[in-house]
Amino acid sequence: MSKKVIAITACPVGVAHTYMAAENLERKGKEMGIDIKVETHGSIGIENQLTQEDINEAEGLIIASDKDIDKSRFNGKRIIEVPVRQGIDNPEKLIQDILDGKGKIQGGQAAVKQSEASEKAGNTVYKALMNGVSYMVPFVVTGGLLIAVALSIGGTPTEAGFVIPEGTFWANVNAIGGAAMSFMVPILAGYIAYAIADRPGLVPGVVGGYIAANGSFYGSEANTGFIGGIIAGFLAGYVAKAIKKIPFPKAFNSIIPIIIIPVFSTLIVGLVFIYLIGQPVASLFSIMTDWLAGMQGANSVILATIIGAMIAVDMGGPFNKTAFLFGSGLIAEGVFNVMGAVAVAVCIPPIAVGIASHMFKKKFSEADRQAGTAAIIMGFFGITEGAIPFAAKNPTRIIPAIMGGSIVGSIIAMLSGVGGHVAHGGPIVALLGAIDNVFMYFVAVIVGVAVTIALLAVLVPDMEPELAVIDNAALTNDLDQGNTSEAVVVNETQVEANEISLTDLMTEELIIMNVQSTNKADAFKEFISLPVVGERISDQEAVLAAINKRESEGSTGMGEGIAIPHAKSDKIIVPTVVFGRSEQGIEWESIDGQPVNVAFLILVPQKHQGDMHLKILQILARKLMDPTFKENLLAATTKEEVYNILKEVK
């Protein structure tokens, strides 16, 4: 039985180098009698994904990549990590190095069982949730801090809350912050769905999140908040994934990812949320508001307990808003103690988790501490949403802890006569003189924060220790001090092959048998000046600019006389491939410094940037690694011969 080696190839653009490296590794492995499987991380997602069985059977892993690859699946496995170019130029050496026992062991054997468990559905859910949170956090931090700064500098306390005069500079800063915050739930939902279904899940996820955050869709003044966003994200992801599995006729292939999946999944998610989720939520919170009103005059401890719990449970969501609106509505009636309890409860979650993230370094990551600093600032200004990134990552542990602190703080405020005269919360309100009994206000906040921190110390477990990477090649036990933090895996969906040929995107009129240009800038102009190209694009200058922009990000000269320039633009009407051959060679600034003799210019409409046409590019990159294929292209004497050779690319 032959030995097995596994590999991953990737490059920042995810187009040519990724697949050229994969092709060379596979070809060389076959020549060496090695069973090799290569997982590619390209522009259209992860393909040929490695299973746990593949990982277990392999001698080791080759990572030929110019971007970060999550290695958590490979704990206990020998790894060699090199730039993607090494996979193209030195595939035999890389494979032999694995067989010779070179490389580094990722983690230890005890971690292997964890890797096996990672394929369970629960882990998929967790990764999807973390993906959504990672994209949501910048919106929460940016929006929250802008609002906080605007309120503190440009706002004045009134009975209606902090008011920033309209038309002022700070009103505009506040509006920008509000705009950033408004994207919080849609982004959370969108990228949860993206992690489950890849690009087709993004649109229904974002739209579903928008509906979740806007109660007007289902007749409610409140909304379902970030909890509704999580529901919408998972619903959108699994609906889109289910539609992807439907066996559509091949004629529909070009419109499946850009029309069928987004349109139908968005419609399904939207209607389900409006009719099955949103309306019951609207009724629930209407009943809850009436119930709170009926609590007036009852036991103040019970009322304070309910207020504290509702403020903290969803951090700016419908429960929070219901309690907040109830407290602020009583201000006009001269009842200030309820708003006083609210003003305490709203700031405890973000301040407490922010402090805890710095206190408990074994329980929170460096990224958590960065978010924690922002959360403390947001809490000072009464923005409860600062705690959402923490709660979204670990709701079953974080939410009970912050609820406990908010309840205790709310009860202390209620019993000690803390009163709130404006519809806002946080220490800023007390410092500006809008709170009765300021001393007890701060006592309530401090005690509530301390309770939450104590609960977090008990409820939140220590993070798994970062696993050391052991250098077996040097036979030492020195720890590698490199960054071993784990990255969130996004495109986990296996991409299925589409039935399409390169010649579906070109005609013989798009073949140039002898390019006259001697440098790539002139070659681009020569390519798009073909009359038939003019019929496929609407603005020659815009398309040329798009080609040059892509080239400025890194040469598309792949080496060995090959170049695959490519561009995406809304000025490209239909997907197009132009083939050019040069006898004298074109100066291209290729990786190996050699001139280019064979070039394929691939033009893709912006709306098609993520579908089957990128599949053609990766297949082409693989095919060009076949010396016979390239020799045949150079030896062909007519456009018809070239066209027939290119029919092999499919």
Distances (CA, A) of 24 to 28, 38, 91, 594: 6, 10, 6, 19
CB 186 within 8 A of CB 180: no
Q: Which helix (H) or strand (E) holds 601?
A: strand 596-605
Q: What is the bridge-based pairing of β-strands 557-559 and 562-563?
A: antiparallel
Rounded Cα–Cα distance for residues 536 and 543 (Å): 11
| Contact residues for 634 (Cβ-Cβ < 8 A; gap 6+) | 581, 597, 598
Core vs surface per residue 209-218: b (16+ CB within 10 A) or e: bbbbbbbebb
CB 564 within 8 A of CB 621: yes
**Directed axis angle between helix 202-212 and helix 261-272, to 10°?**
20
Rounded Cα–Cα distance for residues 524 and 543 (Å): 10
Please, which residues bridge with residue 397 across strands? Answer: none
CA quadruple 585, 588, 594, 600: dihedral sign: negative
Task: State both tokens at 217.
Answer: 């869709």
Distances (CA, A) of 249 to 241, 259, 264, 293, 374: 17, 15, 17, 58, 51
CB 54 within 8 A of CB 36: no
Distances (CA, A) of 533 to 3, 208, 528, 547, 579: 49, 40, 6, 14, 12
Other beta carbons within 10 angstroms of residue 259's beta carbon come to 12
Burial degree of 638 (CB within 10 A; 0-12, 13-18, 19+): exposed
CA quadruple 42, 43, 46, 48: dihedral sign: negative
For residue 276, which amino acid is it?
L
For residue 382, which amino acid is it?
G
Per DSSP, the three-state class of 316 is coil
Distances (CA, A) of 504 to 124, 246, 577, 646: 37, 24, 9, 10
**Looking at 17, 41, 424, 566, which residue is catalytic?**
566
| Contact residues for 31 (Cβ-Cβ < 8 A; gap 6+) | 92
Please, which residues bridge with residue 602 across strands? Answer: 566, 577
Q: Which of 623, 563, 566, 617 is nearest to 589 (CA)?
A: 563
Task: State both tokens at 238.
Answer: 């699994």
CA quadruple 582, 587, 588, 592: dihedral sign: positive
Task: State both tokens at 525.
Answer: 């102009």
Known catalytic membership, residue 11: yes
Rounded Cα–Cα distance for residues 188 and 147 (Å): 20
The residue with tokens 């064979």 is: 598
| Contact residues for 216 (Cβ-Cβ < 8 A; gap 6+) | none
Per DSSP, the three-state class of 343 is helix
**Looking at 11, 347, 421, 608, which residue is catalytic?**
11
Residues catalogued as catalytic: 11, 566
